[in-house]
Every structure is written in structure tokens, then in C-alpha cells.
Copies of this chain bind each other. A is one copy, B any other.
Amino acid sequence: MIDDIRLDSKHPLQHQLYQELSERILDQRYPSGRQLPPSRQMAHDLSISRNTVNAVYEQLKAEGFLQSFAGKGVFVHEDIKSAVTPSGPGLHKPVGAGMRLPPLPALPRLKSKPVEDASLPFQPGLPDLDAFPIRSWNRTLHHQESRRSLRGYDSIQGYQPLRRAIAAYLRTSRGVRCEEHQIIITNGAQQALSLLAEVFLQSGDNILCENPGYRGARNALGRFGNPLVPIPLKKHVLDVEALAGLGPARLLFCTPTHQYPMGGILDLSQRMALVQWAQRNGCWIIEDDYDSEFHFYNKPFAAIQGMFENAPVLYMGSFSKTLLPALRVGYLVVPEAVVEPVLWAKQISGGETPLLTQATIAEFIESGQFTRHLRRMRQLYRDKWQLFQHEVTEKLGGLAQPVAESAGMHLVLEGNFDDLALSQWLKTRGFGSTPLSAHFLGEDVRTGLVLGFASASEREITQCVATLRSALAKQ
């Protein structure tokens, strides 16, 4: 009777026997009313303990698969037939054939695949993971790790001491006008963008984006199908004068203190014109201040958020570059009237940050360790930039042109080559990069490579440039 049951020694026996029996009952190989062998016999036939068989029988009885009658034995439950029969086929297939799934969801309109592990050297956005002060970070973690108040639920807005620390940091370092109640902790920059899309966009609203620009922002802001309207660049910054010809928009995404990826900085008169344009046109500016801590070609500028009281600016930043990507912590700074709608969206969509992570960052900032870390990283990245620029100028002369303004944590190398193919080939050599053309909307693209040198060692910088030279010289 049970001669078709095979148990292996790799998995828990009780679990296997439960699965084998319940499957046979569900697909009616063991029909309703059929008697099962006594547990003693089943145990003997399968060479397992009788306790295991009894436990499985009990579980199957509790769940309604089996029923037992005193003195008669154990039977497949008589209700099962009535549950299956009136409903037609579907459940009568042999085991393993499976059911027909309901209609599957469509994949989004976007082309590229979800990003997998992106921790190769030269991957744009990746900081130097080896230079992270892991010992002092862990000491801070240990101060916080046992606190009971970090175990339960907390405010959707984010851990209050972290919001306070971020507000103080942004006021003094970035000129941002903010108090802690305007700060919303996010799960990296991507969630910040996603929440803004959810809160601000109605069907048909246009979104203005720098072209070339940051792809993650386009994916998040365009996720409900709103049109993405490219803003052309002029001298590596968004062309403020071009805005007048682009029609109305609800959101404008920009990187005014360091255009991504080209590196230009909007000067004061351009900033004023941008804010005035936004105000006159009822458009919100999303200011992504993604790497202002590390500018080398120019001194970092204050954020446009701080230029005017109540400017129509939604400011965002993250700790992915200043601390570690793996922390997944970013922040939004929004006018008071925008806080509640964003909190609503965050509550509904989920995505809060573990309290211990938030508390550790808060102490790391308030104790002054964050500022010291930034100071060290600024020097380290500046040294790497100088080496990288020197290598590129010496060895790639004529093959690719560095865009000096882009230097922060990455450098753009422009050149006339198939940048997608080159980027993929570099990956096989162990070097990350993104093709410049992928940052463009539409067909009119320029080619080149975006190389994040912050994550590369001196040796990797030399090696990567040599590898690039050999590839480009062959063309």
C-alpha cells in the first residue's frame, strides 16, 4: 500500500512523510474513505520510528486530511471528496504537473534588468569599503545594541535623535533650512524618490529630468507612466533658459550642486532663475544632493533648498556614499505642509529602517565621528582622483576625454566607442562602470564611461586605466 513512498535521509522524516501523504490525499491517489495502515506497520515498512508516523497522523487529523474511528483505524477524511468533486478538474492532475497560474503581471516598460551585486571597484556610487572606520563604528553599535527602546515599533518618520542629528548636519554643512520635524528617514535615495512620485504625481503630470541624468530617479519618478521630459544640459548643468520651452510639469528632478553624471554646478544667477521658474510654474524641485561632501574640481556649494524661506524644494540625500551603501539609509527634507502626505505614503508602502541602524548613525554623527570620517575620506578620494586623472591623461590621451567637473566620487570619460559593450567587457575584467549613453533619455546620446574611482585602490586605478587603454587602442 505505501510501497511508492520513498523517504531520504537528507530532510526531516516527519516533514517528508507529511508531504507524501498529504499530496496523495489531495490528488486523490488516496481517495476519500480509504484506510491507512496502522502506524506500527507504516513505521516498519518505511523503517522509521512509530512516533514519527503517529505525529504525522495527528497533524493530518487536526488539519482535516484524516479521520480515525475507535477500533477501526485511520481513514482519508470523507469531507475531502465533497470539496473536490463539485468543482471540476483542476485538482485531479498527477502530482508535479501543478496548477495553471492566474494571469501573470506584466514586466515594466523599462528595459534593463534589476541590478544584482554591484560591489566591483569603479562601480559609480560605491565608497571605499576598506577605509570605513569599522572599529569605531562597531563601538558605536555596541553602545546601542542592547537598548530595549530600540526593539519595538517606532515613528514612521524615523528615529527622532537621527532626524535631529541630520538636521543639525545639513544646516551647518549644506546650508539647508530645516528642523527635525521636516526630516523623513528613507530607505536610501530610491525610496525617497518613490515616495515623492506617489505623493505628488497625478495621471498626466509631466516630470522634468536632466538629460543626461540619474537613471534611478527616472525609474522611480516614471513608475506610474507619467511622461519624462528631458531638460538639455548646457556646459554640464541643466539649461535653465530651456525650461520655458518644455511646458508645465509637476516635478523637476535635478542635481544642482554637482550634475550627475557630468559634474557642472549651477551658479547663483542660474539657481535663482530655476527657483523663480519653478515658483511661477507651480513645479516642485527635487534637489538630489548626492555627493556634495566630495567635490574636488570646485568647492561644494550650499544647497538651493536653503536659498529662500519656503522654497519649492524637496531635498534628498543619503548615507550610502558618506557611510555605507549596505545601511540603506537616506533622508528627505520637505516643507512642513508636505510632511504628512509623505508619511502617509511611507506608512502604506512600508520601508522603515531598523531602529538599531538609525540609532547607530545618530550617535556616530552626534559624537563627531561622522565629520572626522568625512574629512579623512575627502583627503583619500582627492588623492585617488589625482592619481586617476593623471593616469587617464597620461595613458588614454586621445582615446577618451575626462570631464574634469564630474570629479567627486566618479569621473566621466567621454569617447567615441560602444560604451555598453565596453562596460560589459570591463565587468568581465573585474571593474564596474556604467555606460554614459545609458544616462540619456531618447536616441540622441553621447558615449563614454562613468567610473567610480572612490571604491578602487591605487593598484586597481592603474590596472583599470591600462585595461581601458588596451581595449580602446584596438578599436
A residues touching B (Cβ–Cβ < 8 Å)? 11-12, 15, 18-19, 22, 26, 59, 62-65, 77, 79-80, 82-84, 87-88, 90-91, 95-108, 110, 114-119, 123, 126, 129-130, 132, 134, 138, 141, 145-146, 148-156, 171-172, 175, 186-194, 198-200, 219-220, 223, 267-270, 272-273, 275-284, 298-299, 301-302, 306-312, 324-329, 335, 337-338, 340-341, 343-357
B352 touching A187, Cβ below 8 Å: yes
A347 touching B115, Cβ below 8 Å: yes
**B contact residues around A130 at 8 Å (CB):** 148
A327 touching B341, Cβ below 8 Å: no
**B contact residues around A97 at 8 Å (CB):** 309
A-B pairs with beta carbons under 8 Å apart, 13 shown: A88-B276, A98-B309, A99-B310, A102-B278, A117-B153, A119-B149, A123-B153, A129-B151, A132-B151, A219-B348, A326-B354, A349-B349, A354-B354
A340 touching B79, Cβ below 8 Å: no
Closest partner residue, chain B, to A301 (CB atom) = B63
- Chain B CB count within 10 A is highest, among A99, A267, A350, for A350
A371 to chain B minimum Cβ distance, whole angstroms, is 12
**B contact residues around A327 at 8 Å (CB):** 354
Q: How far is the CA of A80 from the CA of B271 in the complex (A)?
A: 10
- Known contacts A153-B325, A326-B151; A104 and B63 CB within 8 A of each other: no
Cβ contact of A12, chosen from B172, B280, B309, cutoff 8 A: B172
Cβ contact of A82, chosen from B141, B269, B350, cutoff 8 A: B269
Q: How far is the CA of A272 from the CA of B154 in the complex (A)?
A: 39
A351 touching B191, Cβ below 8 Å: yes
- Known contacts A311-B99, A354-B354; A156 and B115 CB within 8 A of each other: yes
- Known contacts A151-B129, A273-B83, A312-B102; A280 and B88 CB within 8 A of each other: yes
Closest partner residue, chain B, to A281 (CB atom) = B102
A84 touching B302, Cβ below 8 Å: no
**B contact residues around A348 at 8 Å (CB):** 108, 110, 190, 194, 219-220, 223
Closest partner residue, chain B, to A147 (CB atom) = B134
A350 touching B269, Cβ below 8 Å: no
Closest partner residue, chain B, to A58 (CB atom) = B299
Closest partner residue, chain B, to A97 (CB atom) = B309
B354 touching A188, Cβ below 8 Å: no
B326 touching A194, Cβ below 8 Å: no
Closest partner residue, chain B, to A309 (CB atom) = B98
- Known contacts A80-B272, A268-B80, A357-B357; A102 and B283 CB within 8 A of each other: yes
A463 to chain B minimum Cβ distance, whole angstroms, is 19
Cβ contact of A272, chosen from B15, B91, B269, cutoff 8 A: B91
- Chain B CB count within 10 A is highest, among A148, A152, A328, for A152
- Known contacts A156-B115, A282-B102; A19 and B349 CB within 8 A of each other: no
Q: How far is the CA of A452 from the CA of B405 in the complex (A)?
A: 57
A188 touching B350, Cβ below 8 Å: yes
- Chain B CB count within 10 A is highest, among A150, A190, A283, for A190
Q: How far is the CA of A12 from the CA of B371 in the complex (A)?
A: 15
A155 touching B116, Cβ below 8 Å: yes
B63 touching A284, Cβ below 8 Å: no
